[in-house]
């Protein structure tokens, strides 16, 4: 698989990474440990060197899983994790006080079985802590060798500028896909200007762009998508039009809808590295295959033209979660 550089300090990652959250949290029951380790190691064998986790994914359990899975080849991979929620619990709200950043980082190093975190993200902007203090705390950790690069997640333009002025930001992680293109308005131009890489999460629309979800799909009671307006039965039915177009385009390219969605992201900028997540080995192989598809200018304009008149229905977050992004 090809490589990409995030930021200006040479952080090299595989073109497609692996978002590990869903193995432990968010999309129903956690995957059996042995199966999860097998999937993570299979990703590495297929060329994936960029693995994403966070303290808030099952309050450290996902970090522990990743640490065990990657230990045999730790020096050949890039591990990204995140701080920023009180006690690692999303329900308790944000906490990016410098003392908490330091404590969470120390705990993450132990769980990940490593002496440094390659990419340390602030998970969400904390309105009660000056961004300069957050960036300064991470800068100290980088100087101590406990972190190598600084990242932000779902941050807004002004927060990114303020942080970057204190400690260069290597990557912004936010949602971006064919059914959530909001970053194109302000975020992508800013990242272009500052030389910051972009790591799209949910690049397959939380599974919707694979074509495997329709109006009749049922989700486990613990699945986050149950509270996402975009995933209401009514909106899934309306949004099927986008997937139908994607399927047609994929067929013409001898690819799958997921592969076209990932290839489309890779074609937007040379410093974009999406992190699709999955719990299934066959989906992992499919996703990795997206990196091998090179869309031509004609393909890209065709995709834009065919999707131009399709308006995706439903918000991407319930209101209380939407309030935490873009700050």
Residues labelled as active-site residues? 57
- Say if residues 255 and 266 touch (Cβ distance below 8 Å): no
Beta strands in 77-222 (DSSP E): 78-83, 117-122, 147-153, 169-175, 197-201
Round to whole Å and give the CA distance between 315 and 312. 9
Element (H, E) at 4: strand 3-6
Q: Which residue has the tokens 């790591």?
A: 199
Handedness of CA 207, 210, 214, 220 (dihedral sign): negative
- Say if residues 267 and 295 touch (Cβ distance below 8 Å): yes
- Say if residues 157 and 191 touch (Cβ distance below 8 Å): no
Round to whole Å and give the CA distance between 21 and 3. 22
Question: At 118, phi and psi to the nearest 5?
Answer: -70, -40
């Amino acid at each position: 698989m090809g490589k990409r550089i995030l930021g200006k300090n040479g952080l090299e990652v595989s073109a497609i990474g692996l978002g590990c959250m869903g193995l432990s949290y968010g999309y129903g029951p956690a995957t059996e440990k042995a199966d999860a380790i097998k999937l993570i190691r299979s990703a590495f064998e297929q060329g994936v060197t960029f693995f994403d986790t966070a303290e808030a994914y099952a309050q450290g359990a996902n970090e522990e899983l990743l640490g065990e899975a990657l230990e045999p080849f730790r020096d050949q991979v890039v591990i990204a994790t995140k701080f920023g929620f009180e006690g690692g619990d999303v329900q308790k709200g944000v906490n990016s006080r410098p003392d908490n950043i330091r404590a969470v980082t120390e705990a993450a190093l132990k769980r990940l079985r490593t002496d440094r975190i390659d990419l340390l993200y602030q998970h969400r902007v904390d309105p009660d802590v000056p961004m300069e203090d957050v960036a300064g705390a991470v800068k100290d950790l980088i100087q101590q060798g406990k972190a190598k690069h600084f990242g932000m997640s779902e941050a807004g333009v002004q927060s990114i500028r303020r942080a970057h002025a204190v400690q260069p930001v290597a990557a912004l992680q936010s949602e971006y896909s064919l059914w959530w293109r909001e970053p194109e308005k302000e975020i992508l131009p800013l990242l272009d200007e500052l030389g910051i890489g972009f790591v799209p999460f949910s690049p397959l629309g939380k599974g919707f762009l694979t074509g495997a979800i329709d109006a009749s799909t049922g989700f486990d009671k613990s699945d986050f998508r149950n509270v996402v307006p975009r995933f209401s039965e009514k909106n899934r039915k309306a949004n099927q039009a986008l997937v139908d177009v994607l399927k047609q385009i994929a067929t013409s390219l001898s690819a799958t809808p997921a592969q076209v969605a990932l290839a489309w992201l890779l074609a937007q900028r040379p410093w974009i590295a999406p992190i699709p997540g999955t719990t299934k080995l066959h989906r992992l192989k499919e996703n990795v295959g997206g990196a091998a598809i090179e869309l031509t200018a004609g393909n890209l304009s065709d995709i834009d033209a065919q999707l131009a008149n399709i308006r995706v229905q439903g918000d991407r977050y319930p209101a209380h979660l939407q309030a935490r992004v873009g700050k």
